[in-house]
Amino acid sequence: MRLMDMGLGQLNTMLTEMAGLSQAAVSASIEAYVKGGKGTEVKQMSDRLQELHRQVSDLSVEMIARYQPVATDLRFLKACLEISYGFFRYGRYARDITEVLDMFGDLGQCDHSSVEATAQKTQEMIKMSVEAFSRRDVELARKIPTMDDAVDDSYRSNLMKTLGAKSNIRCALSATLILRYLERIADHATYIGETVEYIATGVDPPG
């Protein structure tokens, strides 16, 4: 076995851990919003994702410098940097959601329907991005952007509704912030999908 292959295996193991943690962090943050909670475990998962992202970045750069890979190996290493960042950002935005809860306090009387519906779409996108990476499934990866459009529409629709209606300001602001974070998570899921296609085809993700 090449030393390069051992390093690639380490990267894959770390990214697999990040995939699971990032999914769990987003799910836990939404559950805390709907059911009430502090999200302490989300902060812990976010910290672990940040640590793993640093490790992936360090190892990827070291391998590029040491082995000067080309073709498929180089594409995979470059993609690892991008995908690791995406998984890290999932956790960071999940943490941001829990900080909204800390800021606004009890939101039990708020209407959670918009956030729950958008969160369901976003979590499906996360799952698809993780599966697409794990299986190097380009066809699955290409399905993600269409779901991103729905999340964007939900955020814009809620924003306009908030501006045009007399509603509880705490409920309106907290929902708007959380929907914004979900919209950013969806953007990262889309980019991870594009990066999976880059691994398989060598075509760079759009700008």
For residue 206, is it within any domain?
A: no
Does 170 map to a domain?
yes
Indicate if the pLDDT at residue 69 is higher than 90: no
Q: For 157-179, what is each residue's pLDDT tens digit?
A: 877 776 665 668 888 889 999 99
Q: Domains in the chain: how many in total? A: 1
Say yes or no to pLDDT of 185 above 80.
Answer: yes
pLDDT the model gives residue 163:
62
Length of the chain: 207
Has residue 142 got a pLDDT over 60? yes
Instruction: Report the predicted TM-score, pTM, of the whole model to 2 decimal places.
Output: 0.90
| C-alpha pair distances (Å), 132 with each of 90, 98, 177, 189 | 16, 28, 28, 10
Domain that holds residue 111: 3-201
Q: Look at residue 143 and give its three-state secondary structure.
A: coil
Q: How far apart are CA 205 and CA 198, in angstroms?
A: 6
Largest Cα–Cα distance of the chain, in whole Å? 65
Say if residue 2's pLDDT is above 60: yes
Residues 164, 177, 30, 34, Cα dihedral to 10°: -40
Residue 68 lies in a domain: yes
Q: What is the CATH number of the domain that holds 77?
A: 1.20.58.220
| pLDDT at position 70 over 60 | yes
pLDDT for 207 beyond 60: no
Q: Which of 89, 95, 104, 127 is nearest to 28 (CA)?
A: 95
76: pLDDT strictly greater than 60:
yes
